[in-house]
Amino acid sequence: MTALSTKHLLGIKDLTPDDIHLILDTAESFKEVINRPIKKVPSLRDITIANLFFENSTRTKLSFELAEKRLSADVINFAASSSSVKKGETLIDTVNNILAMKVDMVVMRHPNPGAAVFLSKHIDAKIVNAGDGAHEHPTQALLDAFSIREKLGSIKGKKIAIIGDILHSRVALSNIFCLQKLGAEVMVCGPTTLMPKYIASLGVKVEHNLRKALEWCDVANMLRIQLERQDIKYFPSLREYTMLFGLNKEILDSLSRKIVIMHPGPINRGVEITSDVADSDQSIILEQVENGVAVRMAVLFLLAGRG
């Protein structure tokens, strides 16, 4: 297999297992590229990419921008906070105006679920979803899968626990789709109030006890508590959340085996994970960030390659 089955990357749900393997294998080649003395290849020198961020982001935006520049693409950046969106322009108008400047690909983050799918139906350029509300964040899931594969050799048959705020998390949903397509067992763990009602219908195990989840898994993916998305109180206090669902060194060291710790960032140190765990040798949080650039290069390269 040498090409993706899809024209856009809107979500992991639309990808086949072959697509995911192709992206991860290609990312391996790009990881070698970004560790060279000259970390740049000319593959996309005739492509212009617009990064449209209608919602705040540091890591994902930087990572995409770096990936685009390492592929020699021309890049334009757009942040909603400093744009005509504030003046009442619609999404399609904004994007069509940008495309009129001859842009080939659009990387978009948007607070509304389905924004990327909506855009793909109305405009001509290739779309990469960089997170749409609480729906999907496909490149994060791909880089998580890449990091697990790199650390453990393969994903098939591995047990991965996603712990924390599942309800507001696009990372959780994309990770569930991605890991299941690659043959892993997935468990979600968190307070009942932060657990979507029908989550078990996705074929994941549901657990409300942190220790049980940690004893079960090979990899624990600790999610951030998304206070900015919580318009009502989902738990009595952060302190209580940390007591029940925060990962600290004491729990980690008391487990019967060494598990791998991941976090999509940004970390609330001392809330879902303590500093000594985040910085321990079991954590691959910074590897995830490095792999993010390689995986995004692979996604952009493969989508551009699809005529």
Partner 1 sequence: MMKPRIILDSKHFEITVTRLCYQLIEVHNDFSNTVIIGLQPRGIYLAKRIQAKLQEILKKKDIKCGSLDITFYRDDFRKKGLVPNRTEIDFIIEEKNVVLVDDVLFTGRTIRAGLDAMLAFGRPNDVELLVLIDRRLSRHLPIQAKYVGKTIDSIISEKVVVEWKETDKGDKVTLISN
**Pairing status of strand 260-262 against strand 185-189:** unpaired
The yes-or-no answer on residue 156 being catalytic is no
| 109 part of the active site | yes
Which among 29-37, 61-69, 96-104, 163-171 is the span making contact with partner 1, rule CB under 8 A? 29-37
Catalytic status, residue 212: no
Beta carbon nearer to partner 1, 44 or 187: 44
Near partner 1 by CB under 8 A: residue from 25, 93, 240, 279 = 25
- The binder of partner 1 chosen from 13, 14, 33, 117 (CB under 8 A): 33
Stretch that binds partner 1, among 26-34, 74-82, 114-122, 152-160 (CB under 8 A): 26-34
Residue among 41, 80, 251, 255 that touches partner 1 (CB under 8 A): 41
Choose, from 59, 61, 151, 205, the residue flagged as catalytic.
59
Q: What sign has the CA pseudo-torsion 147, 152, 153, 157?
A: negative
Q: Does residue 26 interact with partner 1 by CB under 8 A?
A: yes
Q: Which is nearer to partner 1, 29 or 81 (CB)?
A: 29
The reply to whether 245 sits near partner 1 by the rule CB under 8 A is no
Site for partner 1 in 64-103 (CB under 8 A): 71
CB count in 10 Å sphere of residue 56: 13
Q: List, in order, residues 6 or more apart from 250 with CB less than 8 Å away.
A: none
- Is 301 a binding residue for partner 1 by CB under 8 A? The answer is yes
Least separation, in Å, of the C-beta of 110 and partner 1? Answer: 28
Minimum Å gap between C-beta 298 and partner 1 is: 9
The beta-carbon contacts of 280-289 under 8 Å, at least 24 apart in sequence, are 280/249, 280/252, 282/252, 282/258, 284/147, 284/151, 284/260, 285/261, 287/147, 287/150, 287/151, 288/143, 288/144, 288/147, 288/262, 288/263, 288/264, 289/59, 289/63, 289/265
Instruction: Please give the torsion angle defined by the CA atoms of residues 290, 293, 295 and 299, in that order, rounded to the nearest 10 degrees.
Output: 180
**CA 189 – CA 303 distance, rounded (Å):** 34
Q: Is 291 in the site for partner 1 (CB under 8 A)?
A: no
Nearest to 145 by CA among 200, 109, 184: 184
Measured in degrees and rounded to the nearest 5, phi and psi for residue 78 equal -145, 125
Active site annotation includes 137: yes
Question: Does 146 contact partner 1 by CB under 8 A?
Answer: no
- Whether residue 145 contacts residue 137, with contact meaning beta carbons closer than 8 Å, is answered with no
Binds partner 1 by CB under 8 A, chosen from 5, 7, 17, 40 = 40
Residues interacting with partner 1, by CB under 8 A? 2-3, 25-26, 29, 32-33, 36-38, 40-43, 71, 301, 304-305, 307
Q: Which residues are catalytic?
A: 59-60, 87, 109, 137
